[in-house]
């Protein structure tokens, strides 16, 4: 069954009025790959743009099982209890390719999802995102236009998704677990470089002492890394999404971050720079779409692929030849 496409007028009105069903439909429109939808989505975003920008955009990452959804539910409920409107989005790198979802199904954060001050967007369904995080920025803007003051973007600490998310939010929070001394190995180091704060989660029960030790270790490691900002020292805190312990203190630090960067003029500068980066990403994606969609090129592409596969041509050379023929 296909549903009649809502008009841009209707969506603009509904989103501006903070209506959740309208916001949901607007997000679906923005995530759609259909050319006709994309035209409408652009028109809608342009109209809503003046209503955006006031939100606090926070990215939250961590490996599966670190306690992201539990933490977000705890934080979200604390915020809505204080009268703050919170939107939660998920960027799941697994859902487009494998069909499986690392971030789980639509039953997550059920309590928060029922809260009238909250909007929880389920993990994007299979294939709805044309590439990791491609539409997340626009979806964040839609949430702001709908009056959400805090937008939490959840992502998994694998692949490129966290780098992308870190590049489109104001604050990037990395959740970690106290482990057996190997915390700072491998992929985690790369994630630490993106962090505006590291929180050792599940610091409750028998785990409290280990969490304290991990906190000291991470603080030491971060001390040796280049600073992201002259106006902010990346704190390492402990918290428990399950008990809620440390969550309010953690949020206070995020607000301190905002105050410090706003005062230094770095807040707006960072947003402006992110806008430019988003433009370049859109150019890359746009060019790639044109290239892949170029019917005249299709046979040549297939031919070059097999030559590369057979080792007759280097990948670079093959690409160069194709790009030379490409006339969009
Ligand atoms: P996610 O995969 O990162 O979203 O993690 P979940 O929030 O789904 O949590 C994974 C598991 O860890 C679940 O069994 C939770 O009950 C448990 N968990 C989550 N947060 C905490 C916490 O703060 N303390 C403890 N002890 N367990 C937690």
Domain spans, the chain: 1-50, 52-262, 278-325
Name the least confident of 39-48, 53-62, 159-168, 276-285: 159-168
Q: Is the CB of 62 under 6 A from ligand 1?
A: yes
| Banded pLDDT at 31 (limits 50, 70, 90) | confident
More confident residue, 191 or 148: 148
Identify the band that residue 44 occupies on the pLDDT scale cut at 50, 70 and 90. Answer: very high
Q: What is the C-alpha to C-alpha distance for residues 321 and 28, in angstroms, rounded to an integer?
A: 38
49 has which bridge partners?
A: none
Inform me whether the pLDDT recorded for 97 exceeds 70: no
CATH class of 1-50: mainly alpha
Q: What is the CA radius of gyration of the chain?
A: 22
- Give residue 128's pLDDT: 44
On average, the pLDDT of the chain sits at 88
Supply 5's token pair.
Answer: 């496409």
CA of 280 to the centre of ligand 1 (A): 37
CB 61 within 8 A of CB 155: yes
Q: Which of the four pLDDT bands, split at 50, 70 and 90, describes residue 86? A: very high
| Percent above pLDDT 70 for the chain | 86
State the closest ligand 1 atom to the C-alpha of 72, by its place in the atom list counted from 1.
Answer: 7
Q: Is 69 in the pocket of ligand 1 (CB under 6 A)?
A: yes
- HSE toward the beta carbon, residue 319, CA cutoff 13 A: 4
**What is 52-262's CATH topology?**
Rossmann fold (3.40.50)
Least confident residue range of 112-116, 153-157, 242-246: 153-157
Q: What is the DSSP string of 214-273?
A: HHHHHHHHHHTSPPSBTTB---EEE--TTT-TTHHHHHHHHHHHHHHHHHHTHHHHHHHH
Q: Average pLDDT in the 205-213 region? A: 94
| Tokens found for residue 96 | 């487009």
**Per-residue pLDDT tens over the stretch 4-25:** 677 999 999 999 999 999 999 9
Q: Is the separation of the CB atoms in 123 and 95 below 8 Å?
A: yes
- In terms of pLDDT, which residue wins out, 66 or 5? 66
Residue 107 pLDDT: 58
Q: How far apart are CA 212 and CA 214, in angstroms?
A: 5
Task: Report the pLDDT value the prediction gives residue 35, as an integer from 0 to 100.
Answer: 85
CA distance 20 to 52: 16
**Helix, strand, coil proportions of the chain in percent (round to 5)?**
55, 10, 35
Ligand 1 pocket check for 238: Cβ under 6 Å: no
The pair of three-digit structure tokens given for residue 40, joined into one six-digit string: 């409408």
Q: Do domains 1-50 and 52-262 have the same CATH topology?
A: no
The encoded tokens of residue 224 equal: 């040796």
- Within the chain, strands assigned E span 56-62, 86-91, 118-120, 150-156, 171-176, 197-200, 236-238
């Amino acid at each position: 069954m296909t549903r009649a496409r809502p008009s841009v007028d209707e969506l603009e009105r509904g989103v501006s009025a903070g209506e959740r069903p309208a916001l949901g439909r607007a997000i679906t429109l923005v995530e759609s790959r259909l050319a006709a939808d994309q035209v409408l989505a652009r028109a809608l975003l342009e109209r809503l743009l003046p209503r955006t920008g006031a939100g606090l955009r926070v990215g939250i990452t961590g490996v599966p099982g670190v306690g992201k959804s539990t933490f977000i539910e705890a934080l979200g409920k604390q915020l809505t209890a204080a009268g703050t409107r919170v939107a939660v989005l998920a960027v799941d790198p697994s859902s487009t390719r494998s069909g499986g979802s690392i971030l789980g199904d639509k039953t997550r954060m059920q309590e928060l999802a029922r809260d009238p001050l909250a909007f929880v967007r389920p993990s994007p369904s299979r294939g709805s995102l044309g590439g990791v995080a491609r539409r997340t920025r626009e979806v964040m803007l839609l949430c702001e236009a709908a009056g959400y003051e805090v937008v939490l973007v959840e992502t998994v600490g694998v692949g490129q998704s966290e780098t992308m998310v870190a590049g489109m939010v104001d604050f990037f929070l990395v959740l970690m677990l106290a482990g057996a001394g190997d915390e700072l190995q491998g992929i985690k180091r790369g994630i630490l470089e993106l962090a505006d704060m590291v929180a050792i989660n599940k610091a409750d029960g028998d785990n409290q002492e280990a969490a304290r030790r991990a906190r000291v270790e991470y603080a030491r490691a971060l001390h040796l890394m280049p600073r992201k900002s002259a106006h902010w020292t990346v704190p390492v805190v402990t918290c428990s999404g399950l008990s809620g312990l440390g969550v309010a203190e953690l949020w206070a630090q995020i607000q301190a971050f905002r105050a410090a960067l706003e005062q230094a003029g770095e807040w707006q500068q960072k947003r402006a720079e992110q806008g430019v980066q988003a433009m370049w990403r859109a150019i890359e994606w746009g060019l790639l779409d044109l290239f892949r969609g170029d019917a005249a090129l299709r046979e040549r592409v297939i031919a070059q692929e097999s030559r590369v596969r057979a080792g007759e041509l280097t990948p670079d050379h093959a690409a160069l030849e194709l790009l030379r023929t490409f006339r969009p």
